[in-house]
Structure formats: structure tokens, C-alpha cells
Structure 1
Amino acid sequence: MSDSFQSAYQEEEYRLERTMEEVDRQLERLRNFPVYTGHDFTEQVLEAGREERRTALSKSAQQPYFGRLDFEEQGSGARKPLYIGKIGVDREEVGENPLVIDWRAPVASLFYSFTGGEASATYEAPEGLIEGLVYLKRNVVIRQRILERVADTYNRDSDQPAVSDEFLVYRLGENKDNKLRDIVSTIQAEQDQIIRAARNTALIIQGVAGSGKTTVALHRLAFLLYQYKEQVSAEKMVIFAPNHMFLDYISDVLPELGVGDIQQQTFPDWAMNLLSLEMPLADTAETLHTWFETPAARPELNDDVPGRYKGSIRFMELIKEWLSGMEEDSVPDMDFSPWDGAVLSKAEIEGWFGDEYKHYPLAKRKERVMARIHRWIEMELKKPAPEAVRKDRKKKAASREKAYAKKWPQYEPLTLYKQLFKVIKGGSVPASAQQAIPKMVMKQTAADLKENRVREEDLPALVYIHTLVNDIEGNERFDHVVIDEAQDFSPFHVALLDQFVKGHSFTILGDLSQGIHEYRGVHAWGEMSSLFPTEQNAYFALTRSYRSTMEIIDYANTILEQGVKSGITAIPVFRSGDSVRTLPYGSEGRTSSLERALKLLTVKDYRTVSILTRTLHEAKALHRELEQAGWDLNLIDGGKKEYTGGHSVLPVYLSKGLEFDAAIVADVDQTHYLPNAGDAKLLYVGCTRALHELWLFHEGDLPAYASATHNSEGELVSIQEWPEV
């Protein structure tokens, strides 16, 4: 240990002790303060503030900060050490510098954006651009109040070279558990730029596998709540994730950052709740089975397959055009007569509907008109008449009013959706509309709706119809929307959600190379960026992968280059590991080979190891066989809401978004992975789940895009050997 390192370590130990003393003192004072439980509003607000500080200080007491930046603001003549943590901690002395600066504060951005060099650095503050010199950038690892590591990534006063990636590689080398963790101590400059982007902007983020795009989006939510606390609230933010298990996997990140109450759900759950639909969705396993289990049965992939068409803007526009045409036919073609001798003309009712209430949506207009008709009846009943006559009129009016209301269209989304396909099938809409809906879509949807079946792909249309006939209530609007795995969303999804969010405030993230649900998602980000004004959308590409070793990323890149030819490949962080292994099952057979691999990886003390099969059927069968052999394995079949870590068996298509210390991909042969871009993407997804080790097994020949032993630069990317034991 060098003298300079020893000195730095001792300095940080002393600083940590002083910080702990101050945090403990503040926390003890707040805990000793009597908790207010009365009804005085002012005291309730004060108590809420104290409780917020108690919670923040309790978290700070274990790990108060993770970084230090020595900065001299231009013209100040004073070099100040700034300690940066997940939660800011002020000193109790008025006018003193903060004890710990919140990572979201403007000056803290320097810790992420400054990458070295002798030039001055700048950051954007409320008072304008601040310029100065950075003298020291230091990473500090503290766990349970104990200083574990000190690493300088920049020191202006040192002759030693900068080691900016050393601390990052150290953190990336840690093993995974069953939850996604925050990256606040290792945020990179390109990630920080996204996190701190302006609120009223639709950000579209193309991020390669392992680029941290999900974590970046979650940190962006925490930043927006800090930066715009007067304009946004956590309760009005939402994260749309692909499934419940993924929501469980990411569930710890925001609480770790001190953020709660952000809505986290799947789009189907949100849509069904909004529509008050209690019927179950048609089993999506049918679609998954066709696409992933029996690829030979796939329909030809084009914009006319049901998922693509129903997610298109042209379908959205057709619905709007059809519903706008319903306005002319809404008022029943008859006068209204509550009893003989009393008549409310159709012309007058049309005047109410078409002129006076024109600014209301259709359902609200109908509601207003019917309420006005009811008031008219009440006024007519007040006119002089014998009591017996009045009672008879009242009885007839109630019956006729009810019958008249039934002659109006039923502005219920599912009813209207069924009507749309019924009238198109019957030919009672313009020929352009009949031709617009492909025959495959008409056939499937008409059959579904006849049996009262609704598929996930129908939900954007149903919610859109709901908004057109009912409008959007204030409590249904969002301050910000995050869409994860957005390559599997459609333009219709995004255009619809844009009506629910203020100022196009989106974070849309995904990876086209992982677009394995090609039958419903987007094929290019332009399909989404074109939905927003040019000045209110921005595109970012995250090309560095922080998840896997160089060997794994190099191998995965060869799959993309040879099987997809998309031009989107990952740049690895300099973290080396074992070579990728592509192994034949050999004489011992499939199950025995996979079990042997599992044993070899288990002894390395990895917390999470997965076996990825091509199909769910194969995953279930393999899980049974390994259980009978004594293995305790989780079967991930799409029905679970929690990811518990440990050792798992699952089909590749359900692994998207997850990470494992080691991944074993079974049956990588030309029967299971066909020579097309879709299957190459699927294999790419499986390979990029692994952090440290990747093993692939095959019976026959590997598919051409997975058979490379060297990359285009001639570097070794895979070997066909078992490890020496």
C-alpha cells in the first residue's frame, strides 16, 4: 500500500467518523422530538417534514456518501471538498456548506460529467452556468458505516495516470442477487445526460443489452422529482414494464433512492382498470406458442398481422374517423313524446346535442341531453292538470324516457368496438374503411368479439374509444411516463399515452436488437419519434454495455453482425472473464451435460445461474428432470409475479430484462434457432443475460450466426472445451 493511498484512506476514515457523529446527533434529536398526532394542520405539516428527515437520516446513517469532488469555483479562491450521496444532509449550523450533497443537485452533476483533463469544468445551476476547476474525483465504498474502499479516478495534483474505469469494473464484478440495484455511485457521463434532461421532452433511448437503460430511467424519475418538485408528484408518475416479474425485479431501486409512491404496472393492467373491464384477456400463451414454440406456424411478418395493424396509427385514425361519423346518427330519428299531446321535437334535441353541448365528448353530450329532457318533462308535469292525469303522465313519461334512451348509441368502449367490426363486416361503412382493415385482422377479431374475447392487442383501441367518448379525467393524467422494453410497444400505445401525459413528458427505452416480439412492436425508433413535435423529442443511444464481460459481449455482437445485420452492437467495459463455451452434448446426453455444467458453475459460488431453453415446453420438461435428480430450481413460466433469484430454468423469451451471474443456453442448434433475424435476436437476448459466464450447448450444428470462434478482428470469442476441474 503506497504512502499516498494510506494517507487518503486515513483522511476518509476521519471524515467518515465526523460525518457519522453529525448524522447520529441529528437523528437522535429528531427521534427524541415528540411525534405530533393531533389535528392542527400546521403541526401535521411540520411533523411530516420531521418524519421525512428521520427516514432520510436513517438511510444516510448506514452509507452517507459514495463520492468526493474537490472543486474550486472560478473567482472564489477556495477549493472545497464536496461529498455526494444518495440523500442530501445539511449541517445544523446556519450558513455552513452541506454535510452531504444530494446526487441530483446541480453541482453533483460534475461528479458524473467530469472525466478528467486540465481544462475547467462547468455545470448548470439556477443562477446560470458555473465554471471552475476540479482537483479531485474520488469514489468511496462504505457499507454498514465501515469504509471499505477508496479509489481516485482523477487527481490534478498527482503524477499517477487516471484510472477512471477501475472503480466501475470493481462494482460490475460483484455478483447478482434477485433484485436490480441502483447505480448512483457509478453513473456514467452519457447516462447522466439522459437522467438530467428537461422534463417536457419525449426521450427515446436505444440501449444495447446491459447498458443500464432501465436503471437510468428509474434514476431519471428520482431526478425529476428533485428538480421539479413544485410541478410533479410521485403519484402522478408511472412505469410501464413488460410483466409483473420484471416489476418485482426493479422494485427496490426507487426506494433505495428515497423515492416512493410511483405507479408501477403493466399496460394491460392499467388499461383494464381504466376501462373497468373484469373479463379475463384472451390467453396470450396462444400467440407466444405460435411465435416461439412452433416457428413454422408463424404468419408472414408484415404490417397486416393483427398485432402490427392494431398497433398502427392508421388503425387509430380509422377509429377516430368512424366515431366522428357517429355524431350525425347519435340523436334518434324521432320526436320525443312523454305522453300524448306533449312533444319535444327532434330538431330541438339535435340543437342541444350538436350546438349547445358540442364541446363535450359523445357520452357526456348524451348524458347532458338526457338530463335536459328529464328537466323538460318535470317542467311539463308542473303544468295545471287533474291529479289522476298528472300521475298517469308521470308513469308514461318514465317508461317512454327509458325507451327513448335505449334508442341512443351505447357509448361503452367494448360495445362500440364490436359495432365497428360488425358494420365493417356488413359493408355499411365507406369502402376505404373496409379495405383498410386487413382480412386476417377482420377474421380473427370478428371471431374473438363474437365469443366476447378481448386480446392484449385490442386494449389501445378500447382505451382510445374510451377517451373519445368520455374524455380524460384530471386524476387520470400523468406528470411523466416511463415505457420499458418499448420496442415491444406499438406507435398506437405511445400516441394513446401521450394524451394522458402533460407536455410529452416521456422516457421511452428499449433495444431494437432485442425486438423478439416482431409481430407487435416497432422495427425502427422513427415510428415513435414521429409522434412528437421535433423540438420536444430527443434520441439517445447507449452503446456501452456494463453487464457482461468482454468475451460475452464480443460473442453476442457476432450473433448480431451475422444474424441480424442491424449495425447495433455493444461496446464492452474493459472487464475480462472466461471465454464463451459452445459445447456439444456428447455421449453423456442432454440432461447429464446440462447438469454437469450446473454443478461446475454452482461451485463458483454464483448467486444466480439460469438454464435457458428455446421453448416453455422444454423448460418444464427439463425442470422436472433436474428436480428428480435433486436440484432445487425455480421454473419461470410467465405466471409468477416475483423473481426470487437462485438457480432457474426458463425459456429464452421470458428472460428479457433479467440478469444472471452465469447463463447456460440449451439446444443452440439449427432446428431450434432458424436462419432468420428473429431467431438471431432471440439467441442474442439469451446470451446477454450473463454477467460472468456463458455456456451454450448443442446437439447438431450451431446456427451459422452462432458458430464463430473469432470475431471480425480475429480475436477469440468462443471455445469448444469443458473447463479443467
Structure 2
Amino acid sequence: MSDDDSLGSVLDAERRFHDTCRAALTAMVEGADEQVVIGENASASGADAEVLGYQLRSRAKEMKELPPAPLFFGRLDFGESGEHARQSYHVGRLRITEHPAAPPLVVDWRAPVSRAFYQASAKDPQGVDVRRRFGWAPRSVGDTADLTSLEDERIGAGETDSGSRILAGEIERPRVGPMRDIAATIQPEQDDLVREALTASVCVQGAPGTGKTAVGLHRAAYLLYTFPQRVQRGGLLVVGPNRTFLSYISAVLPALGESGVRQSTVEELVGSEKLTVRSCDDEAAAVVKHDVRMAEVLRRALYARVSTAGITDGLAVPDPQVSYRWRVPAGELARIVEGVLAEAPPYSVGRERVRSRAVRYIQERAERRAVNVNRAWTQRIERSRPMSAYVDAVWPRVRAEEVVHQLLSDPEVLARAADGVLDAAEQRAVLWARAPRSWKSARWSAADLVLVDEVAGLLAHPEGYGHIVVDEAQDLSPMQARVIARRAVFGSLTVLGDLAQGTTPWAARSWQELLGHLGRPEARVVPLTVGFRVPAAVVALANRVLERIDVAVPAARSLRGDGELRVREVGDVVGGVVDAVRRALGFAGSVGVIAAEGDVGRVRGGLVAAGVVVGGADELGGRVSVLGAGEAKGLEYDHVVAVEPAAIVEAEARGLERLYVVLTRAVSRLDVVHTRPLPFD
């Protein structure tokens, strides 16, 4: 029998096994529906039945909504010794079994045994004899006939991986539409980060094309699988820079069987139905509002409302039970307020402490006089008009919106709160030009909502999460970072970013400072420098820009020797873009045309006039997208046309960083079209 015949028979056997797995998965989906019916008929208390029903319905819904895809991508054959001696396991995106008590047909990529698929090597076989990778037709939805190839790496025999064609093909495969998962292609250094402990916070400094976003999303999926109760109880949150980016990554977690994850921007975290962004700050105002010093200004503005100045007479509380007025001296009332202030509790907690300590003072005296002090008596004292009036006078009830509204509307209030913190010019920058009558009529900016959230966090602790993944974190301002920190007090963080891609006026220059604002100064910073997506020629060009950027990050390197880079000087930039796009459409995959924001309309118009069908950054299924440089962060295109780099650099203060982002969006080919001198020559 020839080698081809032998390979063919092995492929046929694996295809038959895939059919078996498909039938088992269908039975699992149907079984999930049956469990919902059984659960609804089960005898249980109302609360227990509701919880059980929710869990079963959620599981059934998740099973039905699994995206169609091949059911396994790898296989492990273990040797003669060790925990898994003489066992074979197919590895896929989720566990598939014919019966809950039976051995799985496919093990989940997150299971402990699957780690060997990513980590085993000739130097450290981890008990593995053979590692098999399966090649599936591009964009396969899991038809068995799409299993077209396989590769065996004989690790137990000391075989050194000389480069898997299947692995390389999957990494380099053209992409159109949303981001895909990388469960089949995770590299050892990525796997180490994915499987970090739940309690560990980690920061990934990832050069372009190193898969940092994918690492963060796969870590989220791993934590949900490994610690389901702990993570689901606290919730898992993914924070991205904008809604376009979140749409781009939205398919990854569902493909891995995880659909209950909230994805949000910082703006969405701090907004509400009553508070929406209706205005835009100029840069001078935004820079001050995003500065961490604003946290102290806001704290002062809030606690300036707490005052003992009005306590001149003592407190007299009538007690109908004994026809007596209990009195608390003014000095004691002031000491109560000062004592609570010294403890620095959340504002709302402090207000109730003031009330409870004044009540306790009365209670101690009532007990000495043998008054029947019970819960009803205590509630009468707590709710008495004199007691409520005292609390309102010294520690008034307040809304976060009211505090920020007054601070940004009244120069005197701002001057008192900002004394020694903001100079006069900075105070003028943040004051509203026309003060609205109330917070309800205010035209809030995105930065204003962050300030409101800061005050809300001083009033009471916000809802927290068990784990938060923060992508493009280098662009967070200190005040935005504090928004996230407040929601991660009892959880952990995965922080993803690249300091060289920081493009906001407040972008971080070092991770240590930003991690401090995120409340995780102890987080380990791990660099990823080996690129798997961006070709070496493109990385080399981007590194020339990196040399001119004032950040201390290691240069990227790429394992991809393919790809193409063309730098073309033209007489007419729009004509040059049209030519580049027409050429790009001769290849498979997506085309991103990226220009300075001021040039987008002209470039788009030229392409439309030339008969090219174009879309925007948020139209993920189209072949050609035209977008401004500010929209490109986090996105990838097979072919990128970078339009007039000099204009991109001149458009903003961190123009070199923006250009670095633009150049590194290409995962196969990059055309640089220019009429003006290049800023990296």
C-alpha cells in the first residue's frame, strides 16, 4: 500500500469518527432540551426551581447557539507510561460525549490533558507519543468532507517540529469578517498566559500580530471553564476601546462555547438611560478631566458637603415609650461626624454610620434607665424627625450627578475643591462655558461621565466582576482606569496592550503607572514579541517607526517570511489608492484602506467613482473598508493600503504612534501610497 493510500485510509477513519462526534453533539443538544422539560416538572421549592430552570435553559440555549465548525482540530496519542498511558484524545473547542458518564469523544481544549497539545515538545514530551493536527477546508462549518489533511509529529521518537504546514496555513489564512478563535493554533508562550491562575492579574505587552487580544479572550474562556461557579458568580467583563472593536471580537467567545460574557466600552460602563454623551470636550478640558488629580478634586467637592458647623444645639429625640426626650450634646454629635470622616468609608455608608452612632449613644443611656430597648424601639429612634434632620444637616444625601454639575458650573466651588491641585488655567479649562440649570439638562461629555462615576464610587461601591479583560489598555486615562479598578476590587485583571500604539493625549508611557491606577500595581508584565500574523517585511517597516516613538518596548519580530510590502510614490494619491485596491482585490481576503480622518471622504469618493464597492470599519463582512486612522486600532485586514503617512502623522500629537498602528493592521500585504516625503525615512 502506498503512503497516499495509507494517508487516505487514516483520513477516512478520522472522518467516520467526526460523524460519530456530530451525532453525539446532536444528542447532547437534544438532551439539553429534555433536561429543561424534566427540570420544569421537578419538585422543588420556588427559589430552587427558578435557579434550576434558569441554569438548564441557559445551557440548552448555549448548546443550540454554538457556531457550526469542525468538532476537533487535534489529537494526542500518549506513550506507554504516565497518567494517560496508551490513551488517545481528540482535542476540540468543547467536550463531546455520548453519555455524561462515558469517556469523552472529544476533550475540551481547556481541559488539563489538552495542555500537552500546546506544550509538548521533543525536549519535554509530557508523555505524548504522537501529536496530530487536522487540516480543514477554509471557512468550514464542520462538514465531514471538509477534513482534507492531517500531520503527525512523533514527539516520543524525538522528532523536532520543522514547521507545521497546517498550523502555518491556519495562522496565515485570509480573514474576512469578525475575529476568529485561535484554539487550534495557540503557541506555548500564549498557552502559559491563557492558563494563568484566576487570582493572578497579568499585563500583556504585545507587539503587533502577537495575538494579545486572542490570548485575553481565550484566558476568559479558560477561566469560565475551569472556575465556572466563582467566575460566573462575579461575572466576566471584556472592556474594549470602541463598539467597532467589540463587534470585531464578538464571535470569539461564543465559538468557544461561552456566551454569557458582557462586552463594553468604558463609556458604556459609566453611561445610563439618564446620562448619555451629548457634547465633546476640547482637548484642553479633556486632558484635565482625565488627569488623576481630578479624583482628589471630586473627593473634596463631595465631602465639603459634610459639616458640623450647623451643630450649635444638642439633639433632642422624643421617646413616647417613656414620655422623655433623649438628648445628645452638640460636642458629642460633632465627635461622631469627625470620627466617621476619619474612617473614610463610602459616603453613603458614612451617612448611616453617623445615624447609627447617634442612636447608639441614646440607646446606652436608655438601657441605664431600664427602658425596654428592642428592634421596634431602635427603629423609632432612627426614623424620628429630629434624628433624620440631624443626619441631613451634617451628612446630606446627594447624587453623583449633582456634585459634578455644581463643580463644573460654579467657579467658587471648583476653586475651593481644586485649591493646590489644579492651577487657574486648568480650572478655566474644565468649567462649563454656560452652566445648565440642573444636572438633568446638562450636556455631558464622555469625560464628564467618568467624573460622575468617580463620585458614584465614593458614594457606594459599584457592582464588581470576578474577572475583567481590558484590551487596548495603553489608551486608558488614569480616570478611566479607576472606573475599571472600582469594578475589580474583588476580582482579577487581564490587561492587554502595546505602549507603542498609545494614541490618546493621556496614553500610558509605562505599564507600572497605569497598573497602579487599575489597582493592580503587583501585576506581572509579560512581553509578547514574536508575531504570527504580521509578515516580517511589514514588521521591519513598522520597527523603523517604533525607533522614533518615546516608549521603552522591545521591537517586534515575525516568524512569517511571506507577505508583501510595496512603498509607492505617486503623483495623485487617490489614483494610486484606486490602483492599489484593484490589485489587492486580485488576492483573497479583506482590504483595509486607512487614511488620515481628513482624507477619508476624498479617498472613499475616488474609489466609488472608480466602481469599487466600499464599506466602513463597522461593516465586517465586506471586501473593502475605508476608514480613518483613528478607527483602525485592534482591527486586521489581509491587505492594507496606508494612504499618505505624512498626513496621518500630522493629524494629531501622537501621529507617529497612530502611523505605527496603521502599518501593523496588515496580515498579508501592505501598500504604502504617498506623494509627500515619508516620516520614517
For the aligned pair, the TM-score class normalised by the smaller chain equals 0.7 to 0.9
Rounded to whole Å, the distance in 2 between the matches of 1:227 and 1:141 is 28
2:479 maps to 1:472: no
Give the distance between the partners of 1:439 and 1:9, measured in 2 at CA.
79
Identical aligned residues as a percent: 23
Question: Out of 637, 640, 650, which is 2:627 matched to?
Answer: 650
Q: Sort the Cα spacing of 1:212 and 1:369 in 2 relative to 1 into closer, same or farther, 3 A.
A: same
Q: 1:85 to 1:449 in 2, by over 3 A?
A: farther
Partners of 1:69 and 1:82 within 8 A in 2: yes
The 8 Å contact of residues 448 and 454 in structure 1, kept in 2 or not, is answered as no
Question: CA offset at residue 559 of structure 1?
Answer: 1.9
Change (3 A) 1:239 1:46: closer
Quote the Cα distance in structure 2 between the aligned partners of 1:453 and 1:690. Answer: 39
Deviation track 1:61-110 (CA, whole Å, cap 9, x = no partner) reads 8522111112237456932222111001234385x532111111111111
How does the TM-score come out when normalised to structure 2?
0.81
Deviations 1:332-358 (A, max 9, x none): 66678999x999875576576566897
Q: What's the counterpart of residue 551 of structure 1?
A: 537
Distance 1:525 1:60, change over 3 A: closer
Which residue of 602, 606, 620 corresponds with 1:621?
Answer: 602
> Displacement, 1:503?
3.9
CA contact (8 A) 1:362 1:411 kept: no
Deviation at 1:55, TM superposition (A): 5.5
- Measure how far apart 1:502 and its partner are: 4.5
Q: Which residue of 2 aligns with 1:316?
A: 295
Corresponding letter in the other structure for 1:680: L
Provide the residue aligned with 2:241 in structure 1.
242
Distance 1:572 1:151 in 2: 25
What's the counterpart of residue 296 of structure 1?
none
Q: Does 1:141 align with 2:138?
A: no
Partners of 1:622 and 1:440 in 2: how far apart? 40
Q: 1:435 aligns with which of 420, 434, 438?
A: 420
- Alignment partner of 1:656: what SS? coil
User: Which amino acid is 1:602 matched to?
Assistant: L
Specify the alignment match of 2:661 in structure 1.
685
Residue 436 (structure 2) pairs with residue 454 (structure 1): no
Match of 2:275 among 245, 260, 278: 278
Q: CA deviation at 1:226?
A: 0.9
Contact 2:315/2:390 (<8 A) preserved: no
| Counterpart residue identity of residue 626, structure 1 | L
CA distance in 1, matches of 2:388, 2:226: 55
Match of 2:223 in 1: 224
Map 1:260-659; keep pairs closer than 5 Å: 260-273=259-272, 277-283=274-280, 287=283, 307=286, 309-320=288-299, 323-324=302-303, 326-329=305-308, 350=334, 361-366=346-351, 405=392, 409=396, 411-420=398-407, 425=412, 429=416, 433-447=418-432, 450=435, 452-469=442-459, 471-472=460-461, 476-517=463-504, 519-530=505-516, 536-562=522-548, 566-578=552-564, 580-586=565-571, 589-606=572-589, 608-615=590-597, 617-636=598-617, 643-659=620-636
* Unmatched segments (≥5 aa) in structure 1: 122-132, 288-304, 375-396, 708-725
Q: Which amino acid in structure 1 is aligned with residue 593 of structure 2?
A: I
Task: Tell me which moved more, 412-421 or 214-223.
Answer: 412-421
1:78 maps to what in 2? 85
Unmatched segments (≥5 aa) in structure 2: 137-141, 319-323, 360-383, 437-441
Alignment of 1:117 onto 2:122: yes
Contact 1:56-1:87 at 8 Å conserved across structures: no
Aligned residue for 1:181, secondary structure, equals coil
Distance 2:488 2:414 in 1: 37
Task: Give the conservation status (yes or no) of the 8 Å contact 2:315–2:328.
Answer: yes
Give 1:651 deviation, angstroms: 1.2
Query: 1:89-100 maps to which residues of 2 (within 5 A)?
Result: 89-92=96-99, 94=101, 97-100=103-106
1:440 and 1:680 map into 2 onto residues whose CA distance is 29
* 1:184 aligned residue: 183
Letter in 1 for 2:435: K
Deviation of 1:186 after TM superposition, in Å, equals: 0.3
Q: Give the stretch that moved more between structures: 180-189 or 233-242.
A: 233-242
Counterpart Cα distance in 2 of 1:535 and 1:673 = 33
Matches of 1:168 and 1:465 in 2, distance apart? 50
Shift of 1:306: 5.1
CA contact under 8 A between 1:239 and 1:481: conserved in structure 2?
Answer: yes
State the Cα distance separating 1:319 from its structure 2 match. 3.9
Work out the CA distance in 2 between the residues paired with 1:56 and 1:29. 8
Structure 2 residue identity aligned to 1:65? F
Matched residue of 1:79: which SS?
Answer: coil
CA pair 591-39 structure 1, distance change in 2 beyond 3 A: same
Query: Does 2:159 match 1:152?
Result: no
Amino acid at match of 1:78: A
SS in 2 for 1:231: helix
1: CA distance between counterparts of 2:510 and 2:271?
Answer: 28
What residue in structure 2 maps to residue 389 of structure 1? none
Q: Is the 8 A contact 1:543 1:570 kept in 2?
A: yes
SS at structure 2 position matched to 1:632: coil
Equivalent residues of 1:82, 1:101 under 8 A apart: yes
1:509-563 CA-partner distances (Å, limit 9, x unpaired): 111111111x122111111334588895211111122222222122212221255
Whichever residue aligns with residue 88 of structure 2, its letter is: P
| C-alpha distance after superposition, 1:637-691 (max 9, x if no partner) | xxx6x6443212111121111111111111234x653599932221111111111
- Measure the CA separation in 2 of the matches of 1:565 and 1:51: 46
CA contact (8 A) 2:481 2:518 kept: no
Looking at structure 2, the residues matched to 118 and 361 of structure 1 have their Cα atoms a distance apart, in angstroms, of: 55
Query: What is the aligned partner in structure 1 of residue 107 from structure 2?
Result: 101
Deviation at 1:317, TM superposition (A): 4.2
Letter in 2 for 1:550: A
Label 1:507 to 1:333 Cα distance change in 2 as closer, same or farther (>3 A). Answer: farther
Q: SS at the partner of 1:694?
A: strand
SS at match of 2:456: helix
For these two proteins, the number of residue pairs brought into alignment is: 634
The offset of 1:189, in angstroms, is: 0.7
Distance 1:329 1:449, change over 3 A: farther
More deviation, 228-237/97-106:
228-237
- TM-score, normalised to structure 1, is 0.76
**Aligned-residue offset at 1:611:** 1.5
